[in-house]
Amino acid sequence: MDNVLTEALMRALAVGTPLLLACLGAILNERAGVVNLGAEGLMAVGALAAFAVAASSPDANLWLAVGASMLAGAALALLHAAATITLRANQFVSGLALALIGTGAAGLLGKRFEGLPLFNKVADLSLGGFTISPFTVAALLLAGAMAFWLGATRPGLALRSVGENPAAADVLGVNVGLIRVLAVLGGGALAGLAGAFLSLSYRSSWADNMTAGQGWIAVALVIFVGWRPLRAIAGALFFGFLYYLQFRLQGNSPVPTEVFSAMPFVLVLVVLALAGVRGQAGNAPAALGRAYVRGER
């Protein structure tokens, strides 16, 4: 029994890692007041960039591959920043466009990597008898670091203030636009990192649509966890566990697999409805989704 539970927990942690990374990225830009629905696209380009670097030669530097994924995510997110912060376009529309561009571009550019082997994947760590991906360890540490950074440092305070009341921050000389752009780039980099986990560690291969909707779940997860980095760990574990259940039940059940594949998305709806009932939506940063125009009431 104990073994089954530990096994479930470790699998949930592994499956939940990209969710956690992408969710942390989304928390970063949403706490600064910018919604980015494009996580799915950001993860896809991140996964492809990492794989392309890692598969380029047998002795490719994996750090470089990880860096490439974050750079690719940030580069795509820069489009979102330019559209929503500089040009003040609608954040939801721009985010949706980003998701489509990201998945589409990765699918197109990734054709030649499909089915290729990875020379060396990111090796799992062995911690007290458990094997765990370094990405998972990094994601957990990152959640703690982000909670501390947001809560106890001046840049964190400035970022939160920009997301709550940009006018108040602006009057005190805080550069609202700059902070928002940096937050969106950071969010993009973390979503890219989530993609790198998939192609360098979890799957160790590239396939079109390998993100399989996890970016969308990460976007919903932000609301579920109330924009809190530490709660994101619990939220990612919860959804990771659901995915794990899905894999376990899929093989030996008369129910068609499509039902299981749809399960996370159905659960997102249920969970968001619950979050709404519990008033979780009230935790949203006050200026979330709204472009800041100086002097406008």
Least CB distance to another protein at residue 167 (A): 6
Does residue 111 bind another protein (CB under 8 A)? no
SS3 130: strand
The residue (of 4 and 152) whose beta carbon lies closer to another protein is 152
Least separation in angstroms between CB 280 and another protein: 15
Among positions 172-211, residues that touch another protein (CB under 8 A) are 172-174
Dist. CA 21–CA 16, nearest whole Å: 9
Regarding 94 and contact with another protein (CB under 8 A), the answer is: no
Nearer to another protein, 61 or 153 (CB): 153
> What is the smallest separation between the CB atom of 275 and another protein, expressed in angstroms?
17
Q: How far is the CB of 255 from another protein (least distance, A)?
A: 41
DSSP helix/strand/coil, 261: helix
User: With contacts defined by CB under 8 A, how many residues of the chain interact with another protein?
Assistant: 20
Rounded Cα–Cα distance for residues 146 and 125 (Å): 23
Considering only 54-62, 119-127, 163-171, 177-185, which stretch makes contact with another protein by CB under 8 A?
Answer: 163-171
Task: Please say which residue, 107 or 177, places its beta carbon nearer to another protein.
Answer: 177
- Confirm or reject binding of residue 161 to another protein (CB under 8 A): yes
C-alpha 66/C-alpha 51 separation (Å) is 9
Cβ-based nearer residue to another protein, 80 or 160: 160
C-alpha angle with apex 30: 13 to 96, nearest 5 degrees?
85
- Alpha-carbon distance of 197 to 211, in angstroms, equals 11
Piece in contact with another protein (CB under 8 A), picked from 18-26, 129-137, 165-173, 240-248: 165-173
Distance spanning both ends of the chain, measured CA to CA = 60
Q: Rounded distance, CA 284 to CA 225, Å? A: 10
Nearer to another protein, 6 or 153 (CB): 153
Helix 39-54 vs helix 176-196: crossing angle, to nearest 10: 60
Closest CA to 227 of 168, 290, 286, 158: 286
If residue 249 lies in a helix (H) or strand (E), which one and from where to where?
helix 229-251
Q: Among 21-29, 50-58, 137-145, 157-165, which window interacts with another protein (CB under 8 A)? A: 157-165
Residue from the set 165, 204, 246, 280 that interacts with another protein by CB under 8 A: 165
Q: Which residues are CB-neighbours of 256 under 8 A, at least 6 positions away?
A: none
Residue among 31, 80, 160, 228 that touches another protein (CB under 8 A) = 160
Dihedral sign (CA 141, 229, 190, 128): positive
Closest CA to 296 of 186, 146, 166: 166
* 234 near another protein, judged by CB under 8 A: no
Give residues 258-287 in contact with another protein (rule: CB under 8 A): 286
Q: Is 164 in the site for another protein (CB under 8 A)?
A: yes
Binding site for another protein (CB under 8 A): 152-155, 157-158, 160-161, 164-165, 167-174, 286, 295
